[in-house]
Amino acid sequence: MDQLLGAVLNGLTSGSIIFMFAAGLTVVFGVAGILNFAHGGVFMLAAYTAASILQRSSGSSISYLYAIIGAVAVAALLSVALEVLVIRRFYQYQHEYMLLGTYALLLVLEGSAEITFGVDAYFAPMPGWATNGFSVGAVFVNWYSVLVIVLGVAMAAGLVLWLRHTSSGKVIKAAAIEPEASRSLGINVPLVLTLVFALGGVFAGLAGVVLAPNQAIDLSLGSTFVVQAFAVVVVGGLGSISGAYVAALVLSLANSLWFTYLPGVPQVALYLVMVLILVFRPEGLFSVRKVTA
């Protein structure tokens, strides 16, 4: 029982982080129709930014605020710059070519990260309170996990509500569903696309800050996360935020349950479950083509 509870807790925690990362990918895919490898690079650079701020200030309280501001700013600006300078030119291509174009950007970002931050991993301190917590049976739940899970829920709910019920959310959906009609309604569609990338960058930045104290930040971070997040986005149904949230939790739970109960067997749960889901629902759990709540 305790073993199960521990596995579920781990699954929810890592699923929530993957969702924060995947949320940006989903919104960008839904609106711009682009599955963006470079998102992994943006996320990695945000995590590096956060970790290097925290490492330098050895974890004083105010430094966490600086880390959030720094990481979010870096990620959002970088995301916008990539869209305006490069990705914008890919919209006319087929999805597969866009995938490759953004992969090329990921390579450039990874190389740049190596030049800027070097090959040694960064470690960010965890704030003292986050390592405290409470016990459920024999399982210790720390506040960090609670915070991450709550943030994940809040972000999913916030995005869904925003897209469904606010006028700016409706404009974004309009631009996604009917770009030409939106233009004839006076909506600046290219600007909407750029803003959506900025939003994706903000999410990547937040995910980077949240992740930084929990894991060594190194050069493999971007590509590791981007592949898991692609799994989440595709399994959820491309463009569906609630789908991405469900998929992130399902895949991460599968992963941690497999890890707990089948320790000697190769850890293929995430990909295996993904493939199985796609065999039966080739367009994902919540199959929609455009961004929806």
Which of the stretches 20-28, 133-141, 148-156, 173-181 binds another protein when contact is defined by CB under 8 A? 173-181
Which residue in the set 58, 62, 135, 186 belongs to the binding site for another protein (CB under 8 A)?
186
Please say whether the beta carbons of 259 and 272 come within 8 A: no
Residue 156 structure tokens: 């999913």
| Interaction between residue 120 and another protein (CB under 8 A) | no
Q: Cα-Cα-Cα-Cα dihedral of 156, 233, 171, 160, to 10°?
A: -20
- For another protein, give the closer residue by CB, 4 or 275: 275
Site for another protein in 29-88 (CB under 8 A): 35, 86
Which residue in the set 188, 216, 261, 262 belongs to the binding site for another protein (CB under 8 A)?
188
- For another protein, give the closer residue by CB, 59 or 190: 190
Which residue in the set 80, 146, 171, 257 belongs to the binding site for another protein (CB under 8 A)?
171
| Interaction between residue 181 and another protein (CB under 8 A) | yes
Residue 254 structure tokens: 């599968």
Q: Cα-Cα-Cα-Cα dihedral of 203, 17, 218, 228, to 10°?
A: -100
Site for another protein in 234-253 (CB under 8 A): 234, 238
Which of the stretches 5-13, 53-61, 153-161, 182-190 binds another protein when contact is defined by CB under 8 A? 182-190
| Interaction between residue 268 and another protein (CB under 8 A) | yes
- For another protein, give the closer residue by CB, 54 or 98: 98
Which residue in the set 208, 274, 285, 286 belongs to the binding site for another protein (CB under 8 A)?
274
Residue 45 structure tokens: 């650079």
Which of the stretches 1-9, 144-152, 174-182, 207-215 binds another protein when contact is defined by CB under 8 A? 174-182
Residue of 208, 203, 213 lying closest to 144 (CA atoms):
213
Residues binding another protein (CB under 8 A): 35, 86, 89-90, 93-97, 99-101, 103-108, 110-112, 114-115, 170-171, 173-174, 177-178, 180-190, 223, 227, 230-231, 234, 238, 265-268, 271-272, 274-275, 278-279, 282-283, 292
